[in-house]
Chains A and B, each alone.
Chain A
Amino acid sequence: MNINFTLISQAMAFAIFIWFTVKFVWPPLMRAIENRQKTIAEGLAAGERGKRELELASHRSADAVREAKERATDIIAQAERRAAEIVEEAKVAAKDEGSRILVGAKAEVEQEVFRARETLRQHVADLALAGATKILRREVDAKAHADLLASIKSEL
């Protein structure tokens, strides 16, 4: 155990090594570590943010789906209502049309009946005239007895 100059030389070496570490070893590595910590922290934050956004988006999409369903239900109900209306309208229109056709047909039938009756009356009158002519022979002049024939015809 003898203290000598070695002590001073070792102290100098120690000083140099401390200086070297303080200057060249510690700061770059600390920088690298801190940068990595920052990157990791940012990554974690981004992940958290992403998760939150995903949650929000899923809420939004659920809302959208619900809204769309409601709208679809509305539209279907509306369409059903409209369909019922159309059917109702069609029924009414058909009824009107039917009754109008019926009225027209009745009028035509009446007309036909009237015309048939007229024709029949004419025929009967002609027939009666022919009969009377056959019975009376020459005594009857269609022209001279036109008034009489017309009155008979109207009585038929």
Chain B
Amino acid sequence: MASGTELTPTSYMDHHLTNLTSSLGEDPFWTLHVDTLVMSVLLGILTFGFLWVVVRGATSGVPGKRQAFVELAIEFIDDQVKSTFHGDRHAFVAPAALTVFVWVLMMNTMDLLPIDIMAKVYELLGLHNWRSVPTTDVNTTFALALSVWLLMIFFNVKVKGLGGWIHELVCTPFGKNPLLWPVNILFNLVEYVSKPLSHSLRLYGNIYAGEIIFLLIGMWAATGLAGTVFGTLLGAGWAIFHILIVTLQAFIFMMLTVVYLSMAHESH
């Protein structure tokens, strides 16, 4: 909780929802959310470092428990990709799906850290504003969604050729008749705009809302004995339910990535 200032619900919420920023230039665009970047990169290094260590010592004989766990995760992803994407999935799409799933899952899981205890810990480290969950920062989800969107366009051009892609933009889904061209273009434009928006905002909204509810429960817990008791129960319940949401959202994000990328590989 914020030290030094008077504690009101607004300041409590503000404190928990403010990023640690660092300015790299005059324009507000050049602001950097240090906490988002550090947490996500740290989690990424931990996760992929772990995967790398396990995979480097991987044996094709009887696997150890760690390797079996990693294989379980990877084969789960591989199965999902196999059912959606019909091509050489090992070259890019499946490992990319693994990256998305594991990374988003880890970032989402940070939501389960007890917010006020973490705030105290960060305070001890001299960090007044520090948000633990990178996916509650719309920059992260947009970054992922836009990267996928760019990959989608890249694979569209790579697989169908620039002409083929433009032909698809102009002539699908309604038909080749020149009268239908504007309708087709409009339809595809809406699709191409809505894809990254829905992709990123779904994840952001779910995780952000989850965090807000934790904050509300935390505020209720500060109101008195009854609030503490119910706040504890509700917080535990919400956290357990949140395990599902965290995993589900990571899975949905990954599946949409796979679906978008495989749509880019298929011509109509």
Contacts and interface: CB of A to CB of B under 8 A. Distances in A.
Contacts of A31: 60
B37 A6 contact: yes
A25 interface: yes
Contact of A6 (B32, B90, B99): B32
Mostly helix, strand, loop or mixed at chain A's interface? helix
A135 interface: no
A35 B63 CA distance: 12
A83 B255 CA distance: 91
A33 B94 CA distance: 15
Given A3-B138, A5-B32, A29-B70, A14 B144 contact: yes
A99 interface: no
Contact of A4 (B29, B74, B90): B29
B41 A13 contact: yes
A26 B90 contact: yes
> Which range holds the interface residue count of chain B?
35 or more
A1 interface: yes
A141 to B, nearest CB: 139
A3 B204 CA distance: 13
A37 to B, nearest CB: 9
A7 B48 contact: no
Contact of B55 (A4, A8, A28, A39): A28
A17 B48 contact: yes
Interface in B22-70: 24, 28-33, 36-37, 40-41, 44, 48, 51-52, 54-56, 58-61, 63, 67, 70
Question: Looking at chain B's contact residues, is the secondary structure mostly helix, strand, loop, or mixed?
Answer: helix
Contact of B139 (A7, A26, A27, A29): A7
B249 interface: no
Contacts, number: 125
B95 interface: yes
A30 interface: yes
Contacts of A18: 95-96, 99, 147
A36 B67 CA distance: 13
A30 B28 CA distance: 45
Nearest to B54: A29
27 contacts: A2-B31, A2-B138, A3-B138, A3-B142, A4-B31, A4-B32, A5-B29, A5-B30, A5-B32, A6-B37, A6-B143, A7-B140, A9-B37, A10-B134, A13-B41, A14-B103, A14-B144, A15-B147, A17-B103, A20-B99, A22-B99, A25-B98, A26-B98, A27-B90, A30-B90, A32-B55, A32-B59
Interface of B: 24, 28-33, 36-37, 40-41, 44, 48, 51-52, 54-56, 58-61, 63, 67, 70-71, 74-75, 90-92, 94-96, 98-99, 103, 134, 137-140, 142-144, 146-147
Interface of A: 1-11, 13-15, 17-18, 20-22, 24-36, 39
